[in-house]
Amino acid sequence: MKYYLRFDDLTFNPSYTYLFDRAYIKYKKFDEFIKNDIYFATRAKSNTKIELIRSLDLTSKDKEADVILDADVMLGDHTSETRMKHKTRLVRVKTTDRNGKEKIIDILTNHFDLELM
């Protein structure tokens, strides 16, 4: 007999930081995490609806580490039930994949107090 654990059935502990694959972007669950002081970080999917609220100044260390954006954002679509109630942080980074191709990745988190570098 196989047992499959669903994302919504997992138990999360306050003050921990959980890393999620892009497949697990769940706006309502992320709102719940924020409300309960549970931290997360995940890469954004290419179709993630992101509304920029405020762009933060980058330090020289951030720029040296190829950070190109640090911003407060709202996730989801305001015309549907997918919009989050709480803001999140978007960190956009320029990186190189294993084939040497340059690409941009977006990291979403509710850890607003972490320094990037």
pTM for the model stands at: 0.85
* pLDDT tens sequence across 82-117: 889 999 999 999 999 999 999 999 999 999 887 765
Give the contacts of 88 (CB within 8 A, at least 6 positions apart): 30, 34, 72, 73, 74, 75, 108, 109, 110
